[in-house]
Structure 1
Amino acid sequence: MAATTAPTRSVLPIVVPGQLTLRTIRGKNGPFTVGRLTTPIGEFAVKDAELEQYPEGKYDGDFVIRYIFAKSYPVAGGARFEIRANLDGMTLHGIDKLSRDEARSFAAQDVDPLDEEQGTQPAATPARPTKASKPAKPAPAQVSADPLIDTTPFGVGTEPPATTGPTVSVEEGDAALFGILWPLEASVKLDSTIGRRALRMQIARLGELGYALDFKTQEWTRQVDLQPA
């Protein structure tokens, strides 16, 4: 059975109530998020980039399904098939923690959506080892009796000049990372269409800068440290 290369569109989008279960899995690119959406019209896998922002858990809400399509991807010893839903928006009402059984219900071999989007790269063919040759012994330094004549071999006893490249400040790095969102305001709404890798970097940086996600407003808000009375 050939994998579906393009989503099959229908009369969607439609809005349905349901529960979105998110699981965080550790992969070679770091943690990534996969989801399962349970609705009255069926159960679907969800791997939208938007979900990278949300912590693991079960979210009740209303979901706008843009389209539904079949997808297959290789796993160890075969292939995995699933029906996916692509979301066009959602309104979340609450969150609950996953039970141990619910966490285990997700496939441990789930493919990182980042690898899926970029395509798997074949492993590089290792180069044939070559026999290492012995380094040549440096010629002994010749000492001249004449103090005006320097007979020291070139490079012996000298330090290479220090090379310094252009340095980028933290603020310049953040400006490049966040683009039009910089400088950051007290509340920030990320654009999931910028690419999954860049989105993950923005999410990690927001956490370092003291922001936290409000899943109901779907915005990152700067946390204010309370001063002791």
Structure 2
Amino acid sequence: MEPTTDSWLSAVTVPGKLAVRKIHGRNGPFNVGNLVTPIGKFAVKDAALEQYPEGKYDGEFVISYIDAKAYPSGGGIRIEVRATLDSMTLSGIDKLSKAEARAFSNQEVDPLDEELGAQPAKPAATPVPEPAPIRASKDPLIDTTPFGVGTPAAVVVATGGPDSDDAALFGLLWPLGESVKLDSTIDRRTLRTQIARLGQLGYALDFKSQQWNLTPDLQAA
């Protein structure tokens, strides 16, 4: 059974409290949220939540999209109203109360599974023909390189070394500085891997600035 939707789009900025809960699923841990605002209560499944520790956050939230979804859950049908956040400004954090933690369903669906299930099948890749070999003149003053053929661009690949693997994982963010701001619009699996790796490298999230900072003892190292 495919999820049903009933959506409207109208960006609005509202104050609220965002409860973030970490769930342990078959793909590993993932975060989901409940947002309470003056205009209603919404589930939040945005990829940006993957970065945040479990807790309750005060702030202002720009809601760009509201979506009512119905899907099978625990032998029945579950309906939730989701809000998609365009941005948020957080000002404080507290621990979740027992009641706030229980407000999350035991049947929470990993957003990664939803995204993978919604993706259309990829067409078979078309093989790229090998370019014809380029013969260079023995005369250094004569350039025999065909027009339009330049020096091949550098390609970052993982080769087993830690620097190479991190460069492939972080792409344009590499090399990492003392502060790193992740792009939550990339695919969710890669984002989770980046978050886990930043923790291993000694970075911690500053939820107010929404960026990862290298811990002071490692900055001096």
Superposition TM-score tier, normalisation by shorter sequence = 0.7 to 0.9
Question: SS at the partner of 2:77?
Answer: strand
Q: Offset of 1:100 from its aligned partner? A: 2.0
Question: What letter corresponds to residue 9 of structure 1 in structure 2?
Answer: W
Q: Report whether the alignment pairs 1:201 with 2:199.
A: no
Which residue in the other structure is 2:7 paired with? 8
Count of matched residue positions in the alignment of Structure 1 and Structure 2: 180
Secondary structure class of the residue paired with 1:117: helix
Residue in 2 that maps onto 1:219: 211
Pick aligned residue for 1:64 from 62, 78, 81: 62
Q: Is the 8 A contact 2:14 2:61 kept in 1?
A: yes
Q: How does 1:15-34 map to 2 (within 5 A)?
A: 15-34=13-32
1:79 counterpart = 2:77:
yes
Deviations 1:82-132 (A, max 9, x none): 000000000000000012222122101100000111119xxxxxxxxxxxx
162, 169, 188: which is aligned to 2:180? 188
Following superposition, the deviation at residue 70 of structure 1 comes to 0.6
Alignment of 1:122-141 (within 5 A): none
In the alignment, structure 1 segments of 5+ residues that lack a partner are 121-165
Q: What is the CA RMSD across the aligned residues, in angstroms?
A: 2.0
Name the TM-score, length of structure 2 as normaliser. 0.77
- 1:76 corresponds to which letter in structure 2? G
Which secondary structure does the structure 1 equivalent of 2:8 belong to?
coil
Q: How many angstroms apart in 2 are the aligned matches of 1:73 and 1:112?
A: 13
Provide the residue aligned with 1:178 in structure 2.
170
Deviations 1:5-27 (A, max 9, x none): 5x6233x1110000000000100
Structure 1 residue 72 displacement after superposition: 1.8
**C-alpha distance after superposition, 1:9-57 (max 9, x if no partner):** 33x1110000000000100011110100000000000000000000100
Q: Which of 117, 134, 154 does residue 115 from structure 2 map onto? A: 117
Distance in 2, Cα, partners of 1:181 & 1:81: 38
For 1:224 and 1:117, locate their aligned partners in 2 and report how far apart those are by CA, in whole Å.
Answer: 37
SS at match of 1:103: helix
State the percentage of identical aligned residues. Answer: 66
Q: 1:125-154 CA deviation, whole Å, 9 max, x = no partner?
A: xxxxxxxxxxxxxxxxxxxxxxxxxxxxxx
Amino acid at match of 1:3: P
